[in-house]
Structures are given as C-alpha cells and as structure tokens.
Structure 1
C-alpha cells in the first residue's frame, strides 16, 4: 500500500459485502463512506476495519507510544474513527462522507497542557452535545447550525430540563462514540498530562490526508521525528555492542539510561530533544578498540553531571 487509493481499496476488501455496498452507494463522494447514517453497529464495524488497515499500513514508530498506553491508544483510535464516521454522516453533506474529510476532522485534534484546553476537533463535537459554537465575529458562543440528517433536528433546538441544549450520548451516536473516546483520553491525561495522547491516536490517519504537512502541527512533527532519531540511536548502539566495541560499565549504564529517558513519552519533546546529541556522542565517542591500552583513553567523553 503506497498511496491512499490503495489504502481505500484494501479497506473496502476487508469489509463484509453489506458494508462495502453501503460505501459504494455513496456516489457523490470520492473514496466514500456510507451515507445516510448506517447505525451504531455498522459504524463500529467500519471503524474497526479502517483502524486495522491504517495501523498495518502505518505501524507506530518504536518508542512513540509507551507500552502502558498501547491498548488505550488502539481503542481510542477505533472510537475516534467511529465518532468521525457518525458525525460526518449525521451532520455533513453526502459528498463530505469520505476519507479526505475524515482526515481533516481528525487532524483538528491537538494535545493541551491543561484539562480545560479544547482543540478544534473537540469543539466540533461539542456543537452536537451543547448545541452551541464559538463565533469570532460575535466574540462568543452562538447556536450551532448543525442539523441531524436522519430526523432534521437541530442540537441547538433540543432543550433539557436544566435549560441546556444539545444531544446527550443516549440521544446521538456521534456524541456517544466521542464521549467514550474522551473517557480514555481523560484517563491517560490524568496519569500523564505531558504525554501527547492525541498525536499518537491520530498518527495512522495521516495516511488518509492529501497533505501530511498540514495534518500535523509543528510540535507534533517534532515528536515523530524524535522517535525516529531515538530508534536510530538504539540500533547504532546495538550494532556497536554486537560488534564487541569497547563500552565500559559506566558507559553502558549511562547510554541505557539516556535511551530510556529519550523514549519516555511522559516527558516533553523539547526536554528529551536536548539529550539526543549527548546520547549520540556517548554511543559514538565511547567506543574503544579492545586492544587499546592508553591510560588516557576515553577522556573528554561527555558524562551526565
């Protein structure tokens, strides 16, 4: 699979005949998803199939997703995909129910450093759950224009006993899938607010985008690049060690500690990036030939102070 056309073909081929037929009936969209809304169960099946294809096409970079969060990230991908499928088919035109629009929607999710932060992706779903949207022209919140396609109801017109507007998870599948996603997101945030959960969740979906540079924000691309650098350092260290290069015990302890720190997704990217050069100098500079006997050998090598 080298391009998004092939990804879509593989996705279709993984579907049962009924789901594939639903996608193909949407003739107004390119690389379409079902329209009108096909129901909770079918959306879940579509989401699981899509995430399975994307994770196989774009496997996680080693070190990007900490081991303790792997299951959470995978489940969150399926739930976010299901939420996006539901939102697109319930509240957007038929032509927008496609791979490109899903990529755009998921690209709107960003990591925040505090629990009150809401990315554009979150605010999109809150138009359904609150019936309101933010208007820069008005300088505040105004009623959302969303209209649900299956019954032509507006979230902004749906009023609860407490006076609030919008649909609950029991009343709308897009909200239901999204709130299930938010439960996982909040659990991970509470455990480690610095871990960029959103980046890890949305990474495979970049394959659906026409422009990967626009899919990521700059700081998120830094994190992806860092994971690649760390893996290369690890490979170089493993190769040197296998070739019986002369690392002494202190060198090995320092290198292993640095590599573990660089792979720690709970530490900010900027903080970890600052130690890449030091790890590189240790891995390359601490290598000594087994036959070397100079008493000054190893002087000048960087150490962690």
Structure 2
C-alpha cells in the first residue's frame, strides 16, 4: 500500500469492477458502500474483500488473537462486516452507508462477562430481530422505528404466531448474517468466556474511522487506553483504603495479582483487557463497609454489590 493511499482506496482497488461501481453510485456518502441494498451474494463478496484488505494492511498485534481462535475471529469479521453492510443499507439513510458508519456500528460491540450481556451493537441488531428498541429514558423496551428500505416493512409490525416481533434469518439478510456471526461468537464464548472476542473481531475496522488520510496502527492507542484504565482502578483501590474500607485477605491478594498482571507489558493487550472487568468487580464489590458494632453483637458485615 502506498503511503498516500487510504485503506478505503485500497479496498476499492481490490474489489471487482461491478462492486466498485455499486459503491461509487452512492454519491451521498464519503467512502461509500452500495445503496440501495445489493443483495446477499454481493454483500458477502464486499465483506470478504474488505476484511482481507483490513487484515493484510492492518495485521493483528502479536498475541492479540490466540492461534486456536484465529479462524473463528476471521470468520466472525467477515460475517459482522456483512451484517453491518446489510443493516446500514436496509435500515439507515443513504448517507450513512459508508466506511465511517460501519466502523462506528462494529465498534459498538463489546465483550460481556456472561451470555446475557447486551452491548449497544447487539441492541442495534435486536431492533430487527425483535422489533423492539431499548430506551434508556424509559428504562425498558419500546417499538423500534426501523423501516426496511426495500419494501418499507417494519420489524415491529411483523408479529409471529407466538406474539413475538421482528424478522427471522429467513426473512432478512441483516439478521441472517448476524445470526451466523452469533453462532461463531457463542462457540468461542462457551470455550473461553474470558477471551475478549469482540475486541479482537472489531480491531481492524478501526482503520475505517481514522480521520487522517493514511491508515495507522492502533496498538499504541490500545496500550494507552488500557494503562489509563489500570491507573483508574489503582486509584480507586487506594482510595478505598484511605477511606478505611477493608478487603478480605483473599480478595486483596487477588486484586494485587490482577493489577500486576494488567501492567505486564509482555502479555498481549487483548489478554490483559479481558481481566479489567473482573478486577473492577473485585475492587468495587469486595469492599466491606466499616461497622461500628461487631458481628458478635448481631450486626452483619455487608458487601457493596
């Protein structure tokens, strides 16, 4: 890749002429993707080509993706790229069908500590699969306003016999690609719940949201972000001690070990990142409230949940 080439330009020069023409026809977006929706096969071709370019010109940080998960991560990148292309084309305005918006959408996926965790990325696709949108203002789910551009059907109006709403994988390509992605994601989660699969999957797509003309490696930024999180955890841990809050000996030993591990530069960023949430829970959740009376006098020693 020449220095003056952007990652998107490399992508355009890589794909077939028919796909390149589809992208260029979308004149309302910068770094455009096809609009209207170009169909399952062409979407899959675009996704595979895009991921190939990103992985070639944005190689993974050494140690980021363990060898046993390399094929799963690659497949998940292709499927999530295809799902994002379909979702943007089918449910978003023409101007949003671009590389920058894809990077934002994929960046909304985050790793959770259990299968029930739902990131903003998951909830975005749920608007199609369930016809419902989570509203933080109302503290619950409301009907989604999504309208599919090819036939003007709304997922919330599509009611099944059991009373559920939304489109299935057989009825919507965005759902189909997304469900295939989830199958890979769940396979990896069942094998290793602590492995930050989402971080590894979405990392190359950060190149698409780079504001500069030239693509640059995000390794340094990721390291800085992690170091900032670790400092914040250490500060909270120190503050708890300063406020005379106590930890069980076992919790204290575990926290000290985790903080040391998070600072270990010889360990991959992804591996360390996967333990941040656990460290945070221990620091915030294992603190004992100081109690004026002893347990022998009938007072319980509570934990902050």
- TM-score, normalisation: structure 1: 0.71
1:93 maps to which residue?
Answer: 93
1:214-252 deviations in whole A, cap 9, x for unaligned? 9x99799429x99xxxxxxxxxxxxxxxxxxxxxxxxxx
2:114 maps to which residue?
Answer: 114
1:14 maps to which residue?
Answer: 14
Looking at CA atoms only, which structure, 1 or 2, has the larger radius of gyration?
A: 1
2:193 maps to which residue?
Answer: 193
1:233-291 deviations in whole A, cap 9, x for unaligned? xxxxxxxxxxxxxxxxxxxxxxxxxx9x93596676558xx9xxxxxxxxxxxxxxxxx
Specify the SS of the correspondent of 1:134. strand
Distance 1:107 1:48 in 2: 18
1:19-69 deviations in whole A, cap 9, x for unaligned? 111001000111100000000000000000000111111101111100000
Flag the 1:202–1:2 CA change in 2: closer, same or farther, 3 A.
Answer: farther
Deviation, structure 1 residue 9: 1.1
1:126-166 deviations in whole A, cap 9, x for unaligned? 00000000112222110000000000000000000111000
The CA RMSD over aligned residues, in Å, is 3.1
Specify the SS of the correspondent of 2:88. helix
Distance 1:3 1:178 in 2: 34
1:133 maps to which residue?
Answer: 133
Any unmatched runs of 5+ in structure 1?
227-258, 275-305
Q: 1:222 aligns with which of 219, 226, 237?
A: 226
**Map of 1:1-305 to 2, 5 A cutoff?**
1=1, 6-210=6-210, 221-222=225-226, 262=267, 269-270=274-275
1:250 maps to which residue?
Answer: none
Flag the 1:108–1:268 CA change in 2: closer, same or farther, 3 A.
Answer: closer
Distance 2:76 2:65 in 1: 13
Distance 1:54 1:218 in 2: 17
Decide whether the 8 Å contact of 1:105 with 1:121 is kept in 2: yes
Decide whether the 8 Å contact of 1:222 with 1:269 is kept in 2: no
Any unmatched runs of 5+ in structure 2?
231-263, 280-305
1:246 maps to which residue?
Answer: none
Specify the SS of the correspondent of 1:142. strand
Specify the SS of the correspondent of 1:262. coil
2:234 maps to which residue?
Answer: none
How many pairs are equivalent? 237
